[in-house]
Structure 1
């Protein structure tokens, strides 16, 4: 049986920390679905389609990675995609504290789908999409945190919002 993992997130924007997790998952699982999910608690800079387009570009080197989008419940999406595993990236203890209750609820909803926690590499632990957006809003250099395509699209998006 093929092992399919879903790496869900809002990816607004995708960072090198996200890409680190995707690359490592691509080595561990037969198939990896990067699931761009709508998070109602956040005010996104990019639309779901824009995020999907960017992610397709930055994950193109891995043949077993696909990008998809969903607005529904993660566990239902995982079942729909026949995924065995949900991957959650962690940077810190606070991420762990946030993720554990969600993993418990997902297990209660479907105990056949496992949640795996994966720590980002040390050099990416301080990077968050929120901080990258804040730096970009003030024309700061985000090249150490996101791929060039992300930086370019953020500049276009942010410049157009100030016109």
Structure 2
């Protein structure tokens, strides 16, 4: 049976930390689906379709990594994809507390789902999407934290 993992998140933006979790996850899973979820409590900073394209470009050499967007419960999306695993990264104990509650609810909704946590690589632990958004908002270069260039993002923004 093919081991499919859904790596869900808002990915606003998708960081080198996220990339690291996906690439390390390939050691355990046959296929990883990066799912950009709609979070009704958050207004996106970077357009969803642009981010989806940038993530797809990042993994263009990996046919076993796919990128989707979804507007549903993560557990429902995982079931629809045939994914029996959710892949999540943990930077610290605060992340664990937050993710633990979500994993319990996902298990309630989809009994067959297992959440697999990978600890973030130490050099990437300080990176968060919210910090990157703040740096970018105030004119600071953030390309060191992203697996793509923001010039690509600006070009895609003009196309969308």
- Alpha-carbon deviations, 1:117-162, whole Å to 9, x = none? 111100111100110011111221212211343x22556799xxxx
Contact 2:30 2:64 in 1 (8 A): yes
Q: Name 1:161's counterpart in structure 2.
A: none
TM superposition shift of 1:28:
1.8
Please provide the CA RMSD for this pair.
Answer: 1.7
Deviation of the 1:47 alpha carbon? 2.6
Which of 67-76 and 134-143 deviates more? 134-143
Task: Structure 1: state its 5+ residue gaps.
Answer: 159-163
Question: Is the alpha carbon distance of 1:148 and 1:110 closer, same or farther for their aligned partners in structure 2, counting shifts above 3 Å?
Answer: closer
- Show the 5 A alignment for 1:114-133: 114-133=114-133
Contact kept, 8 Å, 1:136 with 1:155, in 2: the verdict is: no
Structure 2 distance, partners of 1:50, 1:19, is 17
The reply to whether residue 81 of structure 1 matches residue 81 of structure 2 is yes
Further displaced range: 59-68 or 140-149: 140-149
Q: CA deviation at 1:46?
A: 2.2
CA contact (8 A) 2:54 2:153 kept: no
Residue equivalent to 1:67: 67
Pairing of 1:41-60 with structure 2 (within 5 A): 41-60=41-60
Partner residue in 2 for 1:145: 145
Q: Which residue of 2 aligns with 1:16?
A: 16
How far apart are residue 106 of structure 1 and its match?
1.0
Q: Distance in 2 between matches of 1:94 and 1:155?
A: 33
